[in-house]
Chains A and B, each alone.
Chain A
Amino acid sequence: MAETSARGGACQALLFPSSSSPSCARVEALVVFTICDSYVRRPDQADRVIGTLLGSVLPDGTVHVRNAYVVPHSESADQVALDIEYHHNMYVSHQKVNPKEVIVGWFSTGFGVSGGSTLIHEFYSREVQSPIHLTVDTGFTMGEASIKAYVSSNLSLGDRHLAAQFQEIPLDRKVLLSETVEFEMLKSVVVEKLPNDLEGMESSMQKLYALIDEIYKYVDDAVEGRVALDNKIGRFIADTVSSVPKLSPSAFERVFNDRIQDNLALVYLSSITRTQIAVAEKLNTAAQVL
């Protein structure tokens, strides 16, 4: 009985610090790219690559992983040798570029936590308080791409260190998508040409059209009773429609015409500038008759 309560106490002590340790991880696409690339370029005999994660810890306890670099290591049955010097050199170099990015943890490819991980984790615990451990399953062991983040806590009984426990923490995947980049570009193996601004616009318009068509179809179906009515969707559509600012036709016409005029003026201005530079060039390089 006493023993269980002691264990319970240990558990308490164990869970307690985990509230101050990272609660959630956020990983940017670049990190996944770096890890995959380093896995592709791993040395001949290596089974996995490991490396350092850089980023920052947000005030709410979320770890924002923004950068990563691989660290050479060698692994045998019962020991792991990490090139610590390399790790430090690289970290110093990264710090020179962006001092805001600090070590937040480490990554490894492969599925889940493996035996050698505790040793490496211990090393990183000395570098930073409560590092996170990110595993990227490059082998698709479970038939799907899995990226998992863990924090570790030590299980100890009294002074005796029993084991290290890795606890999975939720991973926020939304930010994987870099806001600015055409995401299609990152998904496919080859993109022949970067879209220019008009093409981008066209594709956005097409998406918009498709969405509007879809909503039309949904509303029609809903009105005719072909699909089950859903208040939530209905309200959402109503909200969206009502978010279009109401302007009287004459007021809108005025604004619209003003804007069109402005843009026409701009186009005119830029054409006249082009003419001017064309003329200027002819004059500047023409043979001067003296």
Chain B
Amino acid sequence: MANPAPAAGGKSFLQAIATVTEEAPPPLRVVQMEGLAVLKIIKHCEEFAPALVTGQLLGLDVGSVLEVTNCFPFPTREDDEEADADGANYQLEMMRCLREVNVDNNTVGWYQSCLLGSFQTVELIETFMNYQENIRRCVCIVYDPSRSSQGVLALKALKLTDSFMELYRNNGLTGEKLREKKLSWVDIFEEIPIKVSNSALVSAFMKELEPESPVSQCDFDRLKLSTAPFMERNLEFMIGCMDALSSEQNKFQYYYRNLGRQQSQQQAWLQKRRQENMSRKAAGEEPLPEEDPSNPIFKPLPEPSRLEGYLVTNQISSYCNHINGVAGQNFNRLYLAKALQED
């Protein structure tokens, strides 16, 4: 009596296993970084700022959490083939060396520094796609050294959204496909919350070694009144982006104008052909085909990619966020200064 039930249970269990393995991996919720990796990234990016640098992240992929336990910097790139091969060797060598001392030997992505949050580039997307081919789950950590002077730790974990990757792979970044998928510029990048963890040993050391100080440098930086240079540069970059955006828009207008012209030409041609066919019919001749692929007006016009425009829009949006955020803080600072004067 009891037999069938466990059998059924066993079967469903097997089925369950089968379905679990087939199922898509759980979505990435959190990037958990070790303090060591955070410090290494900051050190590398700050030392070379304003030059932009990159490095590799090492860690583990645990369910919905991606652990970043270590990282190593890439040497500053030079644009020639030899350096490229050298870079690859360096990477392998470093991985081998780190494995030897029991560091997690799993690439989980890369990090890069950026200037004022302008990381949304085609290169980043290409790099991401490259990484994505080899590792199922990867993440890009972006650090902005220019914001550290304001006492802000500008560390972001990014990934491309699945829907965007699919479209990008199939070259589907045309107006129609984007409309179909309802993909807008907001849906290209996905920010993943970062969690910082430290080993108990490090935590104990830091607690012991660092006396509680009432204020730190970053408090001073945060309450500093002069933010004008930062704002100026943000605005400058934003204006540049606006120009880029309007030139993108011109491209599209040009495309649509051409498309319109082509279609009206096609219509005219078709009408002419039909009339001709009618007269041929009347004369008892075979009608000519209503399509003529050899005619240049039937050649489809290539539609420019929307990617550039979307990325520029993303950048503008991040500049807007910066400006809004810093302006908001400025109000606080100003009222604080006012209170000080009234005393």
A residues touching B (Cβ–Cβ < 8 Å)?
28-30, 32-34, 36-43, 66-67, 70, 72, 86, 89-90, 93, 96-98, 136, 138, 140, 144-145, 147, 173, 176-183, 185-198, 200-201, 204-205, 207-208, 210-211, 244, 247, 249, 252, 256, 259-260, 263-264, 266-267, 269-271, 273-274, 277, 280-281, 283-285, 287-288, 290
Distance between A286 CB and nearest chain B CB, rounded to angstroms: 8
Distance between A219 CB and nearest chain B CB, rounded to angstroms: 13
Instruction: Check B320 for interface membership: any CB of A closer than 8 A.
Output: yes
Distance between B41 CB and nearest chain A CB, rounded to angstroms: 10
Query: Nearest 7 A-B pairs (CB), nearest first?
Result: A145-B208, A180-B148, A41-B102, A191-B196, A270-B320, A96-B75, A179-B217
Interface bits B311-330 vs A (CB < 8 Å: 1, else 0)? 00100110110011111111
Interface bits B91-104 vs A (CB < 8 Å: 1, else 0)? 00110010011110
Residues of A within 8 A of B334 (CB): 256, 259-260, 263
Q: Are B242 and A181 in contact (CB under 8 A)?
A: no
Interface bits B169-208 vs A (CB < 8 Å: 1, else 0)? 0000001101100001100000001111111111111111
Other-chain residue from A43, A72, A182, A269 in contact with B153 (beta carbon distance below 8 A): A182
Q: Are A247 and B196 in contact (CB under 8 A)?
A: no
Do A96 and B90 form a contact, CB below 8 Å, given A263-B327, A270-B320?
yes
The total of interchain contacts (Cβ-Cβ below 8 angstroms) comes to: 242
Q: Interface segment, B5-13, B107-115, B118-126, B218-226?
A: B218-226
| Chain B interface bracket (under 10, 10 to 19, 20 to 34, 35 or more) | 35 or more
Residues of A within 8 A of B260 (CB): 290
Instruction: Check B21 for interface membership: any CB of A closer than 8 A.
Output: no
Q: Interface segment, B32-40, B158-166, B293-301?
A: B32-40
Q: Are A33 and B39 in contact (CB under 8 A)?
A: yes
Q: Are B100 and A72 in contact (CB under 8 A)?
A: yes
Other-chain residue from B75, B217, B326, B338 in contact with A256 (beta carbon distance below 8 A): B338
Q: Are B184 and A285 in contact (CB under 8 A)?
A: yes
Distance between B153 CB and nearest chain A CB, rounded to angstroms: 6
Q: Are A93 and B94 in contact (CB under 8 A)?
A: yes
Docked Cα-Cα span, A1 to B150, in Å, equals 66
25 contacts between A and B (CB under 8 A): A28-B43, A29-B39, A36-B201, A37-B199, A41-B103, A66-B43, A86-B97, A97-B75, A145-B204, A176-B209, A180-B42, A180-B46, A185-B196, A187-B203, A188-B198, A189-B197, A189-B200, A193-B193, A200-B153, A201-B332, A256-B337, A263-B330, A271-B320, A284-B309, A290-B260
Taking CB as reference atom, which chain A residue is nearest B147? A197
Docked Cα-Cα span, A270 to B317, in Å, equals 9
Docked Cα-Cα span, A273 to B219, in Å, equals 31
Instruction: Check B215 for interface membership: any CB of A closer than 8 A.
Output: yes
Q: Are A197 and B329 in contact (CB under 8 A)?
A: yes
Taking CB as reference atom, which chain A residue is nearest B193? A193
Residues of A within 8 A of B38 (CB): 181, 185
Distance between B183 CB and nearest chain A CB, rounded to angstroms: 9
Q: Are B197 and A285 in contact (CB under 8 A)?
A: no
Q: Are A32 and B205 in contact (CB under 8 A)?
A: yes
Q: Are B102 and A42 in contact (CB under 8 A)?
A: yes
Q: Are A191 and B263 in contact (CB under 8 A)?
A: no
Distance between A109 CB and nearest chain B CB, rounded to angstroms: 10
Q: Are A29 and B245 in contact (CB under 8 A)?
A: no
Docked Cα-Cα span, A41 to B197, in Å, equals 16
Docked Cα-Cα span, A67 to B334, in Å, equals 40
Docked Cα-Cα span, A173 to B208, in Å, equals 11
B residues touching A (Cβ–Cβ < 8 Å)?
34-36, 38-40, 42-44, 46-47, 70, 73-76, 90, 93-94, 97, 100-103, 148, 150-153, 155, 175-176, 178-179, 184-185, 193-210, 213-219, 222-223, 231, 235, 238, 242, 245, 249, 252, 256, 259-260, 263, 306, 309, 313, 316-317, 319-320, 323-332, 334, 336-338, 340-341
Residues of A within 8 A of B194 (CB): 193-194
Residues of A within 8 A of B198 (CB): 186-190
Residues of A within 8 A of B209 (CB): 32, 145, 147, 173, 176
Q: Are B40 and A267 in contact (CB under 8 A)?
A: no
Docked Cα-Cα span, A287 to B259, in Å, equals 13
Q: Which of A147, A181, A190 has the most CB of B within 10 A?
A: A181
Q: Are B42 and A178 in contact (CB under 8 A)?
A: yes
Residues of B within 8 A of A281 (CB): 184-185, 313
Q: Are A211 and B215 in contact (CB under 8 A)?
A: yes
Q: Are A267 and B323 in contact (CB under 8 A)?
A: yes
Docked Cα-Cα span, A190 to B38, in Å, equals 13
Q: Are A32 and B203 in contact (CB under 8 A)?
A: no
Q: Are B317 and A277 in contact (CB under 8 A)?
A: yes
Other-chain residue from A89, A97, A147, A187 in contact with B73 (beta carbon distance below 8 A): A97
Residues of A within 8 A of B327 (CB): 263-264, 266-267, 270
Docked Cα-Cα span, A170 to B338, in Å, equals 45
Docked Cα-Cα span, A263 to B328, in Å, equals 8
Distance between B220 CB and nearest chain A CB, rounded to angstroms: 9
Docked Cα-Cα span, A43 to B103, in Å, equals 11
Docked Cα-Cα span, A288 to B103, in Å, equals 55
Distance between A90 CB and nearest chain B CB, rounded to angstroms: 5
Q: Are B219 and A277 in contact (CB under 8 A)?
A: no
Q: Are A267 and B193 in contact (CB under 8 A)?
A: no
Do A284 and B101 form a contact, CB below 8 Å, given A97-B74, A269-B323, A270-B320?
no
Docked Cα-Cα span, A34 to B128, in Å, equals 28
